[in-house]
Amino acid sequence: MIEPWQPGPVLGIETSCDETAVAVFDPRRRADGDTGVLSDVLSSQVALHAPHGGVVPEVASRAHLAALPSLFDEALQRSGLGLDELAGLAVTCGPGLVGALLVGVSHAKSLALATGLPLVGVHHLDGHVRAAFLEHEEPEDDYLALVVSGGHSSLFRVERGGPGVRHHRCLAKTLDDAVGEAYDKVGKMMGLRYPSGPIIDRAVAGHDGPFVPFPKARIKAGRRGMDKGRLDHRAFSFSGVKTSVRQHLRQHEIAPLQSDESLKDRPDLLAILAGFQETAVAMLVEPTVKILREEGLHDLVVVGGVSANSRLRARFREEERRRGFRLLLPSPRWSTDNAAMIAAAGALALESGRRDGLELAADPALVLGVAS
């Protein structure tokens, strides 16, 4: 029989991709105007991976290993707490790069062994969803959560179970690239640094010239019992628009950005980026709003790195005004990877009575919830 958890500060560790992060979150502090985050520190590996145009798994693992011990000390120190004042440990156990995940999971297990603190493994996407509730109250009723990041474009119906229990029912996901991955690949073709998503966002926000229209993917149904020939809005796809951009660059013999150029000097590239973004955003907003209506839900949560995108946020806000649903967006700092969201998801898991032992494994392909 597991003893009920006495709510208190939870230390969270995130090492699934290219950010090493540690945070302390106290669910008792979480209230209007207080996120409950006592400390939140992060070391980004962006500069290490940038020359390779993407994340190099081996480099990521080594960098996590080097950064984690001092980040752990710093997070604890900034929280103003001693190890003995913590009430739990949470760590991302999947999905992600296996070597990267292993660094965080091993560290968390050693801590659990040394301190006797209860430990829970957290699904990275569950963490992203919890990020929305650092600043907003979680809806009492079921809600829809769109998770858009470098590795995922997925739509979940989230249902409350018993105390601390949430069921995630996957309603749609990408058939190929994640939307953040498409941003990064399009950026790479044009000679932009990795990760290109924020660069494209900023550059296009300041562009009021023409844009190149790209077609939206039309995904044929025929899956999950739908009529063949019908268009399936329950699947995302971003590799088509990425390929259209590549073909356009080739056909028009457009050179990538040169090292001595700024995007401001390249209206030809800006017009393509603006067109790409408009299509990618429409391919997220339109099916999401449709599914929200079909599911009869009133609350929509949009989270993950790409939810920091200003155009995506503005389009969802427009739809919110027009259709009268409620949109919950985290501040951009909680959209991208961080450990506060992992600690918050961990606190909920501990409240539900979940505990993981020292057999907790890193699972690079961990699935969240059930498919509908």
Q: Which residues bind Zn ion (CB under 5 A)?
A: 149, 337
Task: Output 27 or 305, the one with its CB closest to ligand KG4.
Answer: 305
Spatial neighbors of 116 by CB under 8 A, at least 6 apart, are none
State which residue, 5 or 194, has the beta carbon closest to ligand KG4.
194
Kindly state the smallest distance separating residue 347's Cβ from ligand KG4, in Å: 20
In terms of CB distance, is 111 or 344 closer to ligand KG4? 344
Burial of 196 (0-12, 13-18, 19+ CB in 10 A): buried
Compose the 151-170 pattern: x for residues touching ligand KG4 by CB under 6 A, - for all others.
x-------------------
**Calculated CA dihedral for residues 5, 9, 15, 16, nearest 10 degrees:** 50
CB of 156 to Zn ion, least distance (A): 14
Residue 275's binding partner among Zn ion, ligand KG4, none (Cβ under 5 to 8 angstroms by kind) is none
Contact 129, 304 (CB under 8 A): no
**Residue 133, binding choice from Zn ion, ligand KG4, none, Cβ under 5 to 8 Å by partner class:** none
- Of 95 and 287, nearer to Zn ion (C-beta) is 95
**CB under 5 to 8 A by kind: which of Zn ion, ligand KG4, none does 201 bind?**
ligand KG4
Task: Return phi, psi of residue 151, to 5°.
Answer: -115, -15
Q: List the beta bridge partners of residue 326.
A: 299
Spatial contact of 257 and 191, defined as CB atoms under 8 Å apart: yes
Number of residues that bind ligand KG4 (CB under 6 A): 19
Integer angstrom CA distances of residue 46 from 65, 243, 306: 16, 25, 16
356 binds ligand KG4 (CB under 6 A): no
**What are the distances in angstroms from CA 360 to CA 29, 108, 206, 296, 357?**
28, 10, 47, 37, 6
Q: Which is nearer to ligand KG4, 109 or 185 (CB)?
A: 185
Interface with ligand KG4 (CB under 6 A):
17, 149-151, 180, 183-184, 195-198, 201, 304-306, 308-309, 336-337
